Amino acid sequence: MTIPGRFYERVKDRFPNVSAQVQFDIPIAPTGGPTGPMARERAQLRSPDGLRLVQVGRDILVINRLRPYSEFAEWRPDFVEMLALYQELAQPSSFARVGVRYLNKIVVPEPEVELSNYFRLYPEVPEGLGSPHGAFLLRVETTPPAYPDHEFVATFGTSETDDGQPALLLDLYDMAKAPDGALDRIVDLVDEAHVNVAAAFEQSITDEARRLFGEGKVT
């Protein structure tokens, strides 16, 4: 746990705001019984504008870009730099998994939304179960479109904005690993994961949704 402190000293000019997050894991013993919770602490380093976040802990490095989102090409250099610094300080011998996740919270300005007008991924509910339906959660594990050796999970469901306004959440998560855990593969895998997520996003929405967003293809 000395790594987060050393990491902070190297980036505190750009990520001066520090906080801590504690995650509790409950491991399972070989006999099948729980062995008690284990606390995993990570340091959260935030930029002055609150839009960029670096999380550092034991065996983990997370780079977050918060709303309003920018293009992948803009935050990619942050990831490459922070990864290089983490490797310098922690000196890992390999990696277990790389994940790229995009959370899209979407507000549709209609009291009752016909999902098929905006999305190509949505639940189909038989009329006999009642219409319109209420809250839902749809999760699909699939082979990603561009790099099929990755794992891909799409989750779509009801949500709400920070002020309680109804919204929809489209959660796209790509995961990858190298057979040998070679560290020099991480950046390439992140680039591939972004391509998968961008392609999946385009396949999940309609032209009406694009007009709602007021933008072209995801970048």
The CA-atom distances, in angstroms, between 23 and each of 39, 40, 172, 187 are 6, 5, 23, 26
User: Any idea where the domains of the chain sit in the sequence?
Assistant: 1-92, 95-219
Q: Shortest CA distance to 166 belongs to which of 143, 129, 141, 134?
A: 134
Determine the number of helices (DSSP H) and then strands (DSSP E) in the chain: 5, 8
Helices 72-90 and 2-11, axial angle in degrees (round to 10):
130
What's the pLDDT band for 218 if we cut at 50, 70, 90?
A: very low
Q: Where are the beta strands (DSSP E) in the chain?
A: 17-25, 38-46, 52-57, 60-65, 98-106, 137-142, 151-160, 166-176
**Other Cβ atoms within 10 Å of 102 Cβ, number:** 19
Query: Is the predicted pLDDT of residue 22 greater than 80, yes or no?
Result: no
pLDDT in tens, 166-176: 899 999 999 99
Instruction: Tell me if the bond preceding 132 is cis, omega within 30° of 0.
Output: yes
| 123-146 per-position pLDDT tens digit | 888 777 776 778 899 999 999 979
Q: Structure pTM?
A: 0.85
pLDDT computed for residue 216 by the predictor: 44
Residues 5, 123: Cα–Cα separation, whole Å: 46
Rounded mean pLDDT, 210-214: 79
Per-residue pLDDT, 26: 57
Residue-wise pLDDT tens digits, 106-129 = 888 777 788 999 999 988 887 777
pLDDT of residue 38: 58
Mean pLDDT of the chain: 87
Give the pLDDT score at 32.
Answer: 55
